[in-house]
Amino acid sequence: MAITPPSITLRWQSGTNGHLTLLDQTRLPGEFLEIDCHTVEDVWQAIQRLAVRGAPAIGCAAGYGVCLAEPNLEATLNACDYLATSRPTAVNLFWALERMRQVANDAANSAPDELAQRLLAEALAIHEEDRQMCSDIGRHGADLLAALPEGAGILTHCNAGALATGGEGTALSVLFELARRGRKPHVWVDETRPLLQGARLTAWELQQRGIDCTLICDSMAAQVMREGRVQAVVTGADRIAANGDAANKIGTYSVATLARAHDIPFYIAAPTSTFDLSLSSGDEIPIEERAAEEITQGFGTATAPAGIATYNPAFDVTPAGLIAGIVTERGVIQPVSRDTIAQLTEDSSDERCDPQRR
């Protein structure tokens, strides 16, 4: 029996005295294990060790994490500051925490019960908005790719599905919507070294949905493109600068470069909450560097000699010039430029900052 993806990644249990339940993604695909987070520290650990991952899902989890603090202004703001240290690249984390801070400050003189209710309402709103954004991204992306023939090859990198979001996903929501429309895409799934999010997570999600897919090693993408098996590339993003440069899982820049070399359109699917307009270009995006053991002892097995030097950036930045379009919940940014991004994100930025306009 296939599992309905939107229900599995994270959910809040009960009311203001409840807790956050997450699917531990480090255990997939071999084991479906849920974990309960009862403290702010539990959520921090879950984000840091990738039990929950993907920029939108991290933002949702952080919002709920704030609700686990003591319901007073000092504890709430401390929780926001602490959760912000869990991972540096995905901007949705900081966007969600800023919304929680605003609620806390607005309710600074409220009774503890009222503060707790308002914080939980905001966290639930962040989650629900992400569900809707995923749906809208899927619709706009499917419209964009509607001209592709039935069974067209679409390559994706890392995981940008229900496991990475509060809904159906970003890049994968496009594929799910194409399938619902009867287009039956064939998805080429990069394994995504070193933690194999493509092999472990994306392939699992696509199988759950009955989507035709083929898993390949990252180093095979060029050959698959050369053989004419790929007609489009769609990935997610963790942070997009004002000029359209986009940070995503390490290896995305390579895929975009290969797509350009083979005259294949490379698209990014991401909500407007992923844009960081305070950054002029991708050169300013902080890139997380992770532990050497992810390369040398992946999943507990030594694959390199002891003591070897490593470099393990978790993300890279794809220049805007390689991106054919960015699919958002508000429409497709095309061409990708500072002006087109500003035009599309201007109104949505105001809406996200003003709770009365959501």
| Residues noted as catalytic | 238
Residue 170 · residue 270 · CB < 8 Å: yes
Encoded amino acid at 264, one letter: I
Block residue for tokens 């703001």 = 77
**Beta strand residue intervals within the chain, DSSP E:** 10-13, 19-23, 34-37, 153-156, 186-190, 213-216, 232-235, 239-241, 246-249, 266-269, 275-276, 315-318, 325-328, 331-333
Block residue for tokens 């890049």 = 171
Residue 164 · residue 230 · CB < 8 Å: no
Encode 250-267: b = buried (16+ Cβ within 10 Å), e = exposed: bbbbbbbebbbebebbbb
Distance between CA atoms of residues 132 and 324, nearest Å: 24
Distance between CA atoms of residues 41 and 70, nearest Å: 13
Q: Give which of 254, 252, 277, 279 is closest to 333, Cα–Cα.
A: 277
Measured CA to CA in angstroms, residue 288 lies from 13, 206, 250, 297 at distances of 31, 28, 10, 19
Encoded amino acid at 280, one letter: S
Distance between CA atoms of residues 260 and 167, nearest Å: 30
Measured CA to CA in angstroms, residue 311 lies from 43, 178, 290 at distances of 27, 38, 8
